Homo-oligomer: A and B are copies of this chain.
């Protein structure tokens, strides 16, 4: 593998990632939600049972102050709410509201639309699944950098 090929792979990967981000965002907006792409990253961490600001910060790869400001924004727009933490009086659990869940579903739909388009380019759904599995193998488990 020559170095220039690695750069070609990098360019393709980042172009696809950028395009995907943009189109999911557009799709979410088209479904009546406002926001910026960073919301999506936050939602994936908050989705199951909520999370604290500090956990969210680690997930996003930003400071806890940055995460706190994002949560403030999400609260103002009605996507999440802060609740007292059941086992730690210092902490507050940030959980999705019904509207937050609806926005998450909208993002899923938008993502599915884009990915469906990839089926055509790649030859079928099996290829898309294969792509997903390959990416999952090399995906890091660390913090997600807000790359959109």
Contacts and interface: CB of A to CB of B under 8 A. Distances in A.
Contact of A16 (B127, B138, B146): B138
B9 A145 contact: no
B9 A131 contact: yes
Counting contact residues on chain A (CB < 8 A from B), the size range is 35 or more
A121 interface: yes
Identify whether the interface residues of A are mostly helix, strand, loop, or mixed. helix
A132 B24 contact: no
A12 B112 contact: no
A16 B18 contact: no
A89 interface: no
Contact of A15 (B3, B10, B140): B140
Nearest to A18: B145
Interface of A: 1-22, 24, 41, 44, 61, 105, 107-109, 111-112, 114-119, 121-122, 125, 127-129, 131-132, 134-140, 142, 144-148
14 contacts: A3-B108, A7-B111, A9-B115, A9-B128, A10-B24, A11-B144, A12-B132, A14-B17, A14-B41, A15-B139, A19-B139, A19-B140, A122-B137, A131-B131
